Amino acid sequence: MLRSKWLWIELLVVLLAIVARQVPGPRTIDDAYITYRYSQNLLRGEGLVYNPGEQVLGTTTPVYAALLAGVALPFGGSRADFPVLATWVNALADAVTCLILPLLGARLGSRFAGQVTAVVWAIAPWSVTFAIGGLETSLLVALATGTFYLHLSGRPVWAALAGSIALLTRPDALLFLIPLIAARLWSWRTGDRPSWRELVAFGAPLAGWLAVSLSTYGSPIPHSIFAKAVAYRLPPTAGLIRLLQHFATPFVGHETLGLGWIRVGLVLYPALYLLGAITSFRTQREGWPVLVYPWLYFTAYAVANPLLFRWYLTPPLPIYILMIMVGVWRVARDVKSPIPAALAGAAAIALTANGWTLAPDHGPMRPAPKMAYIQLELLYRDAAQQLRSWIRPGQVLAAGDVGVLGYYTQARILDLVGLISPEATAYYPASESIYAINFAVPPALVNDLGPDYLVVLEAYVRLGLLTDAQFKRDYRLFDRLDTDIYGSDGLLMFVRSGEQ
């Protein structure tokens, strides 16, 4: 009877995850629109490309782009409402994660810990924001937790297949696959050899993508990875500091308890994680790849020090939270009272829930996570609505953030960061003197490539393009939208002289 009761509760949590993503509705992030345009062009028969005729792999998530294209087929094809479809796809992916977490917790020593983690994940701002933001994060997390569970439940073929698809969903899936592959190689040494079915399950999707990507793009590695590495300028410890802050606030406790809580979290949560990891390792030694994953992720991104977009920080969180809750459960077991675990679980859920607002100050006036910030996207959408009536077929629109503008104008895009425009990367790294923030547009990039229209935040061009004599001669400002995002003095809209 008790087991049946808990099953019903776990199913209600799955439903909660779906509802928590439908209540706010789409609050789509700029990068997601890039994937949507890849999906649209795939449905139009242009192939998996951003600009028709340009064979550039600018998306890091070919599986998600193909999945959205497939889902869109019965809903209007390339004319489907991709933000709405993506929200539903992500809601279902997060529901799967919430279904798996109690099962994974049971394998690692505490179903209770998995149940609390599932509730937290159902409403977590770090989960909901990027689900309604239209990104592939929810799918990646579902595949990661699923791969871990399949590995621990002795289903290596299915684990290999899930892991392979995860790697095609986002390249940083490699960070959870490395310890799993190491574990399988070790088991090989002890006589438990991977079967040919396991090798095929892992290798076939990757081989198929390798063949397609080499013939289409010349490389399976997304160009956007290289572009981001050279275009942004960051202090050497920026990634480490951001990761420390993130790992100190898994339940967004600073929203309730103030920024001082970060100092407490830096000690409290890793300590509970360590206790939980020791408990889980003693319960199932085969679980060690799961336990090292968050810290391998932490180390890799701290060393690489890329510009850490918020959705980069999400994938290790379910395992991190799970081990924290296993540590809490261990404390309760040692003191022989369920009260500490119940109180800690309730506190984790309450702190997480406080990361929401009932009335966002922009966008749809529906409850949403406070961090679901789309002010810039709304600004770009206003710009796109103006540009649609001006840009003629064949003309080129250049921008530093191309997602919203590309999706709503459908114009040929010159991406000034270089994600989908390899020609732009030749102008980076740029001179340090033109950076007002972590990104700046080199004047020569615009002057040499000569786009017809240019839309940029003022901070991107303050110290470079706006001071360049050739640019001031060749382009004129025809509109400015008020904003102080990133310290900018407006969103600037330029047209090439003689074009309008």
357: enclosing H helix or E strand: strand 356-357
Given this model, what pLDDT does residue 499 score?
Answer: 62
Given this model, what pLDDT does residue 105 score?
Answer: 96
22, 34, 38, 145: which is closest to 85 by C-alpha? 22
Q: How far apart are CA 325 and CA 328, in angstroms?
A: 5
Residue 82: half-sphere exposure toward Cβ, Cα within 13 Å: 32
Given this model, what pLDDT does residue 190 score?
Answer: 73
Pairing, β 396-399 against β 453-457: parallel
Segment 15-25 shows an average pLDDT of 97
- 3-state SS assignment for residue 388: coil
Asked if pLDDT for residue 133 goes beyond 70, the answer is: yes
CA distances from 7 to 99, 145, 292, 328, 343 (A): 10, 19, 29, 22, 21
- 3-state SS assignment for residue 286: helix
316, 308, 13: which is closest to 144 by C-alpha? 316
52, 61, 54: which is closest to 422 by C-alpha? 54
Split at pLDDT 50, 70, 90, the class of 500 is low
Q: What is the pLDDT of residues 323-343, one digit of tens each?
A: 999 999 999 999 998 898 999
Segment 202-211 shows an average pLDDT of 96
User: What are the tokens at 164?
Assistant: 């392979």
User: What are the tokens at 379?
Assistant: 């600004």
Q: How far apart are CA 126 and CA 172, in angstroms?
A: 17
Q: How far apart are CA 40 and CA 354, in angstroms?
A: 37
Asked if pLDDT for residue 1 goes beyond 60, the answer is: no
Exposed / middle / buried, residue 8 (Cβ in 10 Å: 0-12, 13-18, 19+): exposed
Measured in degrees and rounded to the nearest 5, phi and psi for residue 108 equal -105, 15
The residue type at 55: Q
Given this model, what pLDDT does residue 203 score?
Answer: 96
Q: Which residue has the tokens 């309008």?
A: 500
Measured in degrees and rounded to the nearest 5, phi and psi for residue 136 equal -80, 5
Q: What is the pLDDT of residues 37-93, one digit of tens each?
A: 999 999 999 999 999 999 999 999 999 999 999 999 999 999 999 999 999 999 999
User: What are the tokens at 346?
Assistant: 């309730």
CA distances from 14 to 9, 46, 129 (A): 9, 37, 17
β-strand partners of 454: 398, 494
Task: Please say whether the beta carbons of 481 and 379 come within 8 A.
Answer: yes
Asked if pLDDT for residue 498 goes beyond 80, the answer is: no
Average pLDDT, the chain: 95
Segment 200-212 shows an average pLDDT of 96
Neighbours of 484 (CB within 10 A): 11
Q: What is the pLDDT of residues 229-278, one digit of tens each?
A: 999 999 999 999 999 999 999 999 999 999 999 999 999 999 999 999 99
- 3-state SS assignment for residue 478: strand
Spacing of C-alpha 360 from chain mean position: 22
Pairing, β 368-369 against β 356-357: antiparallel
Task: Please say whether the beta carbons of 36 and 68 come within 8 A.
Answer: yes
Residues in the chain: 500
Which value, in Å, is the radius of gyration of the alpha carbons in the chain?
24
What's this model's pTM, rounded to 2 decimal places? 0.95
Measured in degrees and rounded to the nearest 5, phi and psi for residue 299 equal -65, -45
Q: How far apart are CA 483 and CA 469, in angstroms?
A: 25
Asked if pLDDT for residue 2 goes beyond 60, the answer is: no
475: enclosing H helix or E strand: strand 475-481
Exposed / middle / buried, residue 407 (Cβ in 10 Å: 0-12, 13-18, 19+): buried
Asked if pLDDT for residue 3 goes beyond 70, the answer is: no
Given this model, what pLDDT does residue 409 score?
Answer: 97
User: What are the tokens at 64?
Assistant: 């998600």
Measured in degrees and rounded to the nearest 5, phi and psi for residue 396 equal -110, 130
Higher pLDDT, 9 or 19: 19
Helices 288-304 and 317-334: crossing angle in degrees, nearest 10, is: 130
User: What are the tokens at 248?
Assistant: 């100190």
Neighbours of 359 (CB within 10 A): 8
Q: What is the pLDDT of residues 432-447, one digit of tens each?
A: 999 999 999 999 999 9
Q: How far apart are CA 291 and CA 179, in angstroms?
A: 10
Q: How far apart are CA 132 and CA 356, in angstroms?
A: 13
Q: How far apart are CA 250 and CA 317, in angstroms?
A: 7
Q: How far apart are CA 308 and CA 253, in angstroms?
A: 21
498, 497, 480: which is closest to 489 by C-alpha? 480
